[in-house]
Amino acid sequence: MAQNVTVQGASYSDVPAVTLPKTGGGSATFYDTTIASNGAAATDIASGKLAYVNGSLITGTATGGSSWTKIGNTTELAVNTTSTSAASAGTIAIGSSAYTKDKIIYVRIRDKSGKRNGYFYGSDTYFMNYWNANGATTTLSVVAQCHYRYNNNALAATAGAYGVYGYSINSSGTLTIRRRYNSTNTLTINSTYLIDVYELTPPQALF
């Protein structure tokens, strides 16, 4: 990004730019765009943006990355039950945009008191609408779900849907949280939980 140059017999080292007078007044600065290695390519630059690399004008083609955005939460959800039947523990309004095709919804639930022996700890649930277009009337599909318990100082996941977990999201953007006790495990789910809901929009359609 800098060159050694000679102007009217005088040598200058590591010159990154040269400023010259303009015919109509003022000045213009010309920068050296030569890059020895690791120069940017069109795929490294945001789509439609322009940049000079090694003297050539490049139009970016990159569609950008993705990031999680929080779209809902509850600071406290009290659960007190020993019922082995699954039932609603409440709902969270996350907006109808959550039902967008290909969007991924992540529901993170954690026991407010932290990891305690003999207690259900929390769950992670992912939803994805990968076949319905906007306006569909069915609920989103659960694509991954983990339930955690903390017992004997060991954190373990189970396949059974017990504890407190995200259950469904309908087309209006209502997330239903369920709670269910599992009598075969020596733990309780009676506690207060923190719930955060995030969305991820992929940079391009997955299907």
Alpha helices in 21-72 (DSSP H): none
Average pLDDT on 80-107 reads 87
The confidence band for 134, taking pLDDT boundaries of 50, 70 and 90, is very low
What CA–CA distance (Å, rounded) separates 107 from 122?
Answer: 10
**Cα 14-16-47 angle, rounded to 5 deg:** 140
Within 10 angstroms of residue 169's Cβ, the number of other Cβ atoms is 26
- Looking at residue 108, its pLDDT comes to 95
Query: Does residue 13 register a pLDDT over 60?
Result: yes
- Looking at residue 107, its pLDDT comes to 95
- Looking at residue 148, its pLDDT comes to 85
- Looking at residue 178, its pLDDT comes to 92
How far is residue 43 CA from its own chain's centroid? 21
- Looking at residue 133, its pLDDT comes to 46
What's the mean per-residue pLDDT of the chain?
82
Average pLDDT on 148-164 reads 70
What CA–CA distance (Å, rounded) separates 98 from 145?
Answer: 18
What CA–CA distance (Å, rounded) separates 160 from 144?
Answer: 12
Average pLDDT on 97-110 reads 85
Least confident of 12-21, 24-33, 73-82, 158-167: 158-167
* Portion of the chain with pLDDT greater than 70, in percent: 84
On whether the pTM is more than 0.85, the answer is no
pLDDT tens track for 41-59? 887 787 888 888 887 888 8
* Portion of the chain with pLDDT greater than 90, in percent: 29
Domain positions in the chain: 3-59, 68-200
Closest CA to 58 of 47, 71, 73, 74: 47
Average pLDDT on 135-158 reads 70
